Amino acid sequence: MPQREPAVRILIVEDYEPFLRYFRSTLEQRGGFQVVGEASVGLEAIQKAKELQPDLIVLGIGLPKLSGLEAAKEARRLAPFAKILFVSQEFSFDIVEAALRLGASGYVHKSRVQSDLLSAIESVLRGKYFVSGMVRGEFGDTTFNQDAIRHEVKFCSDDAVCIQSLTDFTDSTLKAGKTAIVIAPDSHRSAVLQVLSTRKWDVDSAIQRGILRPLDVTERLSASMLNETLDSAFFFDIAGDLIEEAAKAAQREQTPRVGVCRECPPTVFENGDLGQVLRLEQLWGLVAHTSVLDLLCVYSSANLENHENVFERIRAEHSAIYSA
């Protein structure tokens, strides 16, 4: 007789009793989950995380005495193997970024809890990020006064199409008075710069002025890794500094935008860690929601052969999809 998988042990931290009851009943009705503890204040949550060593902590933000963010920081230290999923009424890019920087893997807006809670838990337990609204091209109930977010993807049949796609995006970005960032392998990056030169761009001058920034994709990925795993805090630090510097160099006077075209590091596919592909997409998607960024993600179709599930997940993360 096959042995049953042990139940996922969950600690719920929520100060509003109706939501606490809802979380408890929803999780208990779902097979494979065991609610091992509950807390309503941050200090109690820290103590129970230390005592119970749960697999997952479902955590609110606006807790009495000690905020959920502060509690998460301490819980990560005392229960290092526990995944953290925030569920909160507060929802903005800054709050979500702060939560992910602290090591959380997911963030569910309370207005979406019925539709998103179980999906979020399943994603987090599989080592993926989940943020309410991201797949649908929204960001919770937050609205922005700036231009619509562009987070697009293009699946390319060969290297020549990849280079063409990167070049066209960079060319149009520069013509619009924006700073262009090209993150690609060395051979593709060099080819893009060469083609731009044939289109009458003074590439050396553009790089010197900071409006064209060619970067190595493998080097960028390595800088965002901790113990061979993509680290959200490192990623936000690197991407945030890069985009802030690029925005300052942009020529538009009001709310300068930045255009980023990026290829997925080939080493990720070579190593077979396709979960890193999705984590990168989700983190870049979060950065795109700062509304100063146009983002084109370029993939070689050959890398996604025999990975239909990953292909569909990548498609779902984007506001527009192209292939050539």
Residue-wise pLDDT tens digits, 147-183 = 456 789 999 999 999 999 999 999 999 998 899 999 9
Of 298 and 255, the structure prediction assigns the larger pLDDT to 298
- Pairing type for strands 229-230 and 225-226 reads antiparallel
Domain boundaries, the chain: 8-131, 150-323
Distance CA 4, CA 298 (A): 42
Q: Where are the alpha helices (DSSP H) in the chain?
A: 17-29, 42-52, 68-78, 93-101, 113-125, 159-175, 186-198, 203-209, 217-223, 232-249, 266-271, 274-288, 308-316
Ranges 65-69, 252-256, 295-299: which has the least confidence: 252-256
Residue 227 has pLDDT above 70, yes or no: no
Same fold, 8-131 and 150-323: yes
Distance CA 309, CA 307 (A): 6
**Which residue type does 193 have?**
L
Q: Which CATH number fits domain 8-131: 3.40.50.1820, 3.40.50.2300, 3.60.70.12, 3.30.70.100?
A: 3.40.50.2300
Residue 310 has pLDDT above 90, yes or no: no
Distance CA 251, CA 174 (A): 9
What is the topology classification, in CATH, of domain 150-323?
Answer: Rossmann fold (3.40.50)
Q: Which residues contact 167 (CB under 8 A, 6 or more apart)?
A: 191, 192, 195, 196
Strand partners for 109 = 88
